[in-house]
Amino acid sequence: MTDQAVDTSGPAEAAGTEEPSGAAPPRFFGRERELKALRADIERAGLDTLAGRKTPRARVLLIAGRPGSGRSALAAELAGSLTGTGTAPADASGPGTGTG
């Protein structure tokens, strides 16, 4: 995966700026190719379902890119789609703070 799918050619808008129609901009867009590749890797590994399958081997998916390239948004969208909720089950914006 690369951050080449990020469009940086347009002018930057100030935070909190709404579109003239008053409609909120889409929550997630422009990374369908990367999202499809991540989902395909999960399916190939058998991590999407355990029904009738042997226990899958562990997998690591790395989402790398420059700051501001949408890594966290991509991870959140992937996690939300896998849980069926459309939202990430946990914060994907930094290192874990779990105990143990």
Using a cut of 0.85, tell me whether the model's pTM lies above it.
no
Distance CA 100, CA 88 (A): 22
21-31 pLDDT, tens digit each: 666 666 677 88
Exposed/middle/buried for residue 74 (C-beta within 10 Å: 0-12, 13-18, 19+): buried
Q: Which domain holds residue 44?
A: 29-88
Has residue 38 been placed in a domain? yes
- Residue 35 belongs to some domain of the structure: yes
Express each pLDDT in 11-20 by its tens digit.
Answer: 555 445 455 5
Whether residue 9 is contained in a domain is answered as no
- Of the candidates 14, 21, 2, 9, which has an alpha carbon nearest to the alpha carbon of residue 66? 2
The confidence score (pLDDT) of residue 42 equals 80
Q: Is residue 21 part of a domain?
A: no
Instruction: Give the total number of structural domains in the chain.
Output: 1
Contact 69, 80 (CB under 8 A): no
* Non-local CB neighbours of 36 within 8 Å, separated by 6+ positions: none
Residue 97 within any structural domain of the chain? no
| The pLDDT value given to residue 45 | 74
Assigned domain for 64 exists: yes
